[in-house]
Structure 1
């Protein structure tokens, strides 16, 4: 277990007494297992693989870092102003225990039998009673009195040893005020709450929903009394959540381990339909062409940074109103902001004599995640169910890289924003969306199993035969890599080389989080900054954005060791300048002063 996610003497909130040892589960509570789905296994193995025709030699390092280096572990933190009596270590621990009962993937482990790459499974052993549930929860709950949130984020993203492991898929922590706090006081204090999870068990949306549910349990009003829940009422709720699932000698019809997205979506009715889905999927992938990527630098280690900026309510209202007037969303414009920022960056570099970048005749491709929950059904899921599971696919946006004259920049900006909206609508409204997703998942799962064996053979010093180039399957490209060239002997002399399929950057766009965190659910909580961070490996980059409580938040995370010095910083500065120029009608230079 990671030392960062467990109690230590200086962190322990319970008078320095270690948690009680975990009791042995009663005999009726056997281990429940569920195989990792193809999508989960791929995320567990190769979250940043390239989709189009790679040679296996290009990708030998992806599986092992995900297991050993915490690749793509996610941290979500929220600053809360609250009466001190509502946020105490005891209350937090018991609500965390309730959360682990409701969402069993959070409390599970991943087991991969040696060499059996299609046998990876989630393992969940229910607690034998409510006290056992609380004691288990305390083992993954921490109080950090000796660090700030920035120090904790730095540790989470860059420590050589990851905070999470495949034996511990999640953790919860909080940072209290630096001064002594009377836990019985109604005085308002500042707290920071931190929820961490492996990406293969949940995505950003599901993590926010868990955080929102956690806060509603912690600080919401009891439906009977109309007051905040007391410790006694929280204990009763823990008893209730355990009893409705495990008080009987047998499982009462619900899923002990949450089912994957694939089980919630229709699959092909026949082999013919599956073949048709695959053909359509591959033809659709041919439309995703991208020739631009940010050049990488070779480095032995990674160092993640994630600068961000928050626009105030007045600025955010102006941004939203302007986008609405032009028939687009703020999320649509972010692709174009990246598009313009990159072209301006390479033009500025060209003026300094650096002409090593791709020409403006090639388009720019960017990718973003698609939440599959609106397209899946819970009809096959017995209650009480859980919404915490990975439910993502990916979609690519392609835009021209050239820029027009200065006089028509604004009109081009909004035209391309509408193009983004049209591309997304076409992809998401397609009747083939589910077929594409299921086909992609099957291909990704098959590929991940083959590559996992090759990587483990290399680690063991065993000779292995490299697998053949993979089929185009995953619309989440690795921009450090280029497509494998076809064998010269098999290519007709008149054929053209395949088009480039590199992505410039990935975007995680969560929209308005107020829909997830309704203010009425937490009458005495005042929320401040909310942000998420991923533990990225060498040469990775991700832009994140959302609005929350009337404020627009944008963040760019990248590995500073993995890119040419200063290049991503220029790109980031020009994204922010674009917000000023196109969304706020401000002079970018004056706006930054």
Structure 2
């Protein structure tokens, strides 16, 4: 889509004295400022997939993502001046993080990016979207998920760095070694002064879901720690900021490729009439195959309260689980579909005659065909589709057959996942699904806005015009439920993304991720990180019949012990 350059007058205040660190070396003289009255902006319209995430988020922040990382590091590594510089560098490399959203109509919502006029302006904007707290992991995540919304249309991304309890402040630089004299008059350096203590920190990376997906979050976190935990001094990081600003904006602002393209534009198709008809038929047939019907019993509650119980399995056990899965021809991800399937069947709330449908995310990056400008090769964009796994909801009565049934279900999940990823019509299906999701989101957004005004009236059913009806392309079938039991976000081996060796001064130990949910939502996460296997379940505690999710979660963990060892 075309990106429009707009000139407006919008001044950005300089860094306040309170936020400037004493060791900060201002390098604005290297960044030739543009005239104060000139403010250059780039904008583009959101695509259907982006709109399907943006429109539901407007009121309470549904889909606002977070990534929590617990780590230890020396205090000086997380000083505000250093974190702010790294944050400014990455916000410049990935413009959507520093953009804002403007809604003009349900079909006209735009990303707007304001070109930074200097490195000082970059640092000021980064500092305004950075917060230091003294909260533990659980309190930090709970406040993001259940408290007032952190993000907004003018704040699409945000960093929170917290230190719950530690001997040193993250704002304090390391102590300078001092000579210690003994009674004989000789001097030496004490061990305590030469060994800088490690403190425990929590980082919360917050971003709108219409900016990107989970893979973008993790790639960003790796880059963030790659800079923060590197052996570069604060001054060297500031010079990187200055040099990259010069490369991008020092001489010209005419760069049409600055904002990443929409998902739909990244996988373009030449639509002939025949291809369009064929795609319609294929899409309808694929949707008719989605037969489910298993659902958790829900209850109405005025307040949503999301919790995220999380368990981790140590490295030796994780390796044993991986070995057992390989011996049975599946991945841990496929096994987790079967785990949820068996756990739900044992909970016994659904009929055995109706199958269980679970959905998961599909990474569409391998299907992108549009070449990017190397200067603006950002990974912050949406590249996510969905696929479904459908499994029976009954178990054999013979106890000895349950194990073989479990591994058979895991192989079924693997086969269905592979077929979804390798389907030759995946691009056309993605376009059709994007269009459907966009239309649905716009219709619901209009309805929500009218209801909020108190003027909503149920639509009158349209009369059927029998004279214009065509013969259906597909044979008539009885209407079947496509209700999903739950979603699974299976992230795989995140240690393949995080290059821990590149930031030796930082030791990561905990990772939790998710998003602000709508009422009655549920999503299970499975991944390996820091040599451990992690499973977490994010769900609305008030949205389900009391006790049912606890029973399911307990059974899920029991199934891990029983089948995976």
Say whether residues 1:436 and 2:432 are aligned partners.
no
The match for 1:392 is: 384
Selected match of 1:214 from 214, 224, 245: 224
Aligned partners of 1:165 and 1:383: how far apart in 2? 28
Segments of 5+ residues of structure 1 without an aligned counterpart are 1-8, 16-22, 46-62, 221-227, 347-356, 470-489, 585-593
CA gap 1:291/1:25 in 2 versus in 1, 3 angstroms: farther
**Cα distance, 1:231 vs structure 2:** 1.1
CA separation of 1:14/1:559 partners in 2, compared to 1, >3 Å: closer, same or farther?
farther
Alpha-carbon separation, structure 1, partners of 2:67 and 2:525: 12
Q: 2:90 aligns with which of 99, 104, 108?
A: 99
| Aligned match for 1:183, one of 157, 162, 173 | 173
Give the secondary-structure state (helix, strand or coil) at the position aligned to 2:362.
strand
Contact 2:166 2:200 (8 Å CA) reproduced: no
CA contact (8 A) 1:80 1:192 kept: yes
User: Could you give the per-residue CA deviations for residues 335-367 of structure 1, whole angstroms, max 9, x where no partner exists?
Assistant: 110000001001xxxxxxxxxx43101110000
**Which of 150, 157, 161 lines up with 1:174 in the alignment?**
161
Structure 2 distance, partners of 1:287, 1:180, is: 58
Give the Cα–Cα distance (whole angstroms) in 1 for the partners of residues 141 and 480 of structure 2: 39
**8 A contact 2:94–2:376 mirrored in 1:** no
Q: Secondary structure at the match of 1:272?
A: helix
Answer yes or no: is 1:123 the counterpart of 2:126.
no
Q: 1:211-266: per-residue Cα shift (whole Å, max 9, x none)?
A: 1001111112xxxxxxx111111110111221221112332x45222212221112
**Worse-matched range after superposition: 393-402 or 24-33:** 24-33
Aligned-partner SS, 2:108: coil
Question: Residues 496 and 231 from structure 1, CA distance in 2 versus in 1: closer, same or farther, beyond 3 angstroms?
Answer: closer
SS in 2 for 1:95: helix
User: How many angstroms does 1:126 deviate by?
Assistant: 1.5
How far apart, in 1, do the equivalents of 2:483 and 2:361 lie? Answer: 17
The residue aligned with 2:518 is 537
Between the aligned partners of 1:467 and 1:422, the Cα distance in structure 2 is 44
- How far is the alpha carbon of 1:453 from its aligned partner? 2.2
Is the counterpart of residue 287 in structure 1 residue 289 in structure 2?
A: yes
Query: What SS does the aligned partner of 1:542 have?
Result: strand
The corresponding residue for 2:47 is 37
Per-residue deviation at 1:25?
A: 7.7
Q: 2:274 aligns with which of 255, 272, 276?
A: 272
Please state whether the residue corresponding to 1:195 is helix, strand or coil.
Answer: strand
Partner of 2:60: 69
Is the 1:264–1:380 contact (alpha carbons within 8 Å) kept by the matching residues of 2?
Answer: no
CA RMSD, Structure 1 to Structure 2 (Å):
2.4
Task: Tell me the alpha carbon deviations over residues 521-554 of structure 1, each in whole angstroms, 9 at most, x when there is no partner.
Answer: 1122211001113111211100001001220000
Higher strand content, 1 or 2: 2
8 Å contact kept, 1:254–1:384: no
Aligned equivalent of 1:204, options 214, 221, 229: 214
* Contact 2:166/2:199 (<8 A) preserved: no
* 1:306 to partner: Cα distance: 0.6
State the distance in 2 between where 1:547 and 1:216 align. Answer: 20
So what's the TM-score if we normalise by structure 2? 0.85
Residue among 417, 420, 426 paired with 1:424: 417
Structure 1 residue aligned with 2:151, among 152, 164, 186?
164
Query: Which residues in structure 2 correspond to 1:352-501 (within 5 Å)?
Result: 357-381=349-373, 383-404=375-396, 405-463=398-456, 466=459, 497-501=478-482
Any conservation in 1 of the 2:168–2:199 contact (CA below 8 Å)?
A: no
Q: How many residues align?
A: 506
Offset at 1:443?
Answer: 1.9
Q: Are the aligned partners of 2:75 and 2:168 in contact in 1 as well (CA < 8 Å)?
A: no
Higher Rg of the two aligned structures: 2
Paired residue secondary structure (1:368) = strand
Structure 1 stretch displaced more, 436-445 or 170-179: 170-179
Q: CA deviation at 1:26?
A: 4.5
